[in-house]
């Protein structure tokens, strides 16, 4: 597992773990998350412009145990420093006293260098962290913000999850010869995905912003079997899809190109060829077909050569 998602009462935060730099700490954190140890706990300590701290089942700042049964040693690395906001690190009561408690920085804190193990960073959801950090605190610098769920993106087979953004269902098509999808189609569809305007602007006016404008995420899946639980929209049908060997390479190129045109950390791979169950937690999606070569829909060459879809979302 390289990432953990924190579902809090104020929104979702995704954390990337630095396994190469702090393997023992990452193993402890990811295993506690996998076991559900953090579920229902609170951010028991919030200090504006400094940090938010959680992971203590007692909610007092004095509890919590590691997967190793006792406290475990620090893992400092000269490449990792408290240079800004969004740094994930272990809370402790002195050298080599790591347990289950962790914190996320709200700004530069160089005085913590080589005193607290850095083992990750926030990749998405920094605005949520900032909102939590702005909550009014009591005399103990504490305020309750529930972890409603902590989920492992891989071990629990949750292959992708976004809070606000685009779920892109990609069909890489094959007809024959010159009508088959090509890398040029991947380039065209990547640009169209990022250009489509489906989000409200700051005034609530609909259809004004694209996913880049709102800092949203893009979750992609290709050559899949879809079992969707949605209240709006349609269920794409990708009969006549290209075989896995050829389409997998083009799908990888699409993901790479989306990252180059936007932000790699915002692009999620929902697993190529997945048997996929999609659940929409709000009133349902708006489904918009996007194709790379419009003429294939309007003027098919013949019934036997008719393409159901070029790359489509």
Catalytic residue set: 45, 50, 53, 92, 103, 112, 116
Tell me the two tokens of residue 115. Answer: 């005193």
Q: Cα separation of 96 and 24, whole Å? A: 12
The total number of residues written for the chain in this structure:
313
Tell me the two tokens of residue 267. Answer: 């692009």
215 and 265 Cβ atoms separated by less than 8 Å: no
Residue 258 to residues 57, 106, 188, 190, Cα–Cα distance (Å): 40, 29, 11, 6
272 and 255 Cβ atoms separated by less than 8 Å: no
Q: Cα separation of 80 and 168, whole Å? A: 35
Question: Phi, psi (5° rounding) for residue 50?
Answer: -125, -70
Q: Cα separation of 142 and 289, whole Å? A: 47
Positive or negative torsion for Cα 266, 271, 273, 279: negative
């Amino acid at each position: 597992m390289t990432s953990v998602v924190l579902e809090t009462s104020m929104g979702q935060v995704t954390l990337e773990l630095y396994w190469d730099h702090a393997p023992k700490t990452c193993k402890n954190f990811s295993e506690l998350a996998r076991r559900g140890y953090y579920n229902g706990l609170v951010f028991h300590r919030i200090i504006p412009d400094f940090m938010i701290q959680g992971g203590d089942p007692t909610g007092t700042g004095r509890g919590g145990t590691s997967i190793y049964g006792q406290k475990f040693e620090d893992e400092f690395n000269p490449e990792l420093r408290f240079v800004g906001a969004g740094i994930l690190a272990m809370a402790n009561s002195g050298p080599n006293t790591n347990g289950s408690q962790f914190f996320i920085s709200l700004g530069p804190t160089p005085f913590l260098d080589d005193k607290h193990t850095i083992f990750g960073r926030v990749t998405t959801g920094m605005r949520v962290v900032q909102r939590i950090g702005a909550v009014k605190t009591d005399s103990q610098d504490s305020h309750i913000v529930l972890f409603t769920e902590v989920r492992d993106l891989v071990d629990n087979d949750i292959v992708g999850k976004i809070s606000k953004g685009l779920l892109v269902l990609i069909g890489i098509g094959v007809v024959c010869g010159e009508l088959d999808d090509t890398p040029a189609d991947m380039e065209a569809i990547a640009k169209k995905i990022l250009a489509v305007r489906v989000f409200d602007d700051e005034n609530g006016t609909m259809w004004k912003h694209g996913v880049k404008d709102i800092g949203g995420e893009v979750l992609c899946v290709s050559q899949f079997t879809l079992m969707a639980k949605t209240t709006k929209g349609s269920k794409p049908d990708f009969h006549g899809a290209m075989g896995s060997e050829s389409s997998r390479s083009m799908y990888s190129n699409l993901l790479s190109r989306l990252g180059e045109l936007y932000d790699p950390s915002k692009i999620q791979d929902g697993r190529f060829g997945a048997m996929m169950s999609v659940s929409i937690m709000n009133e349902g999606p708006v489904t918009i077909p996007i194709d790379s070569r419009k003429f294939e829909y309007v003027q098919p060459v013949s019934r036997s050569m008719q393409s159901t879809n070029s790359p489509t979302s």
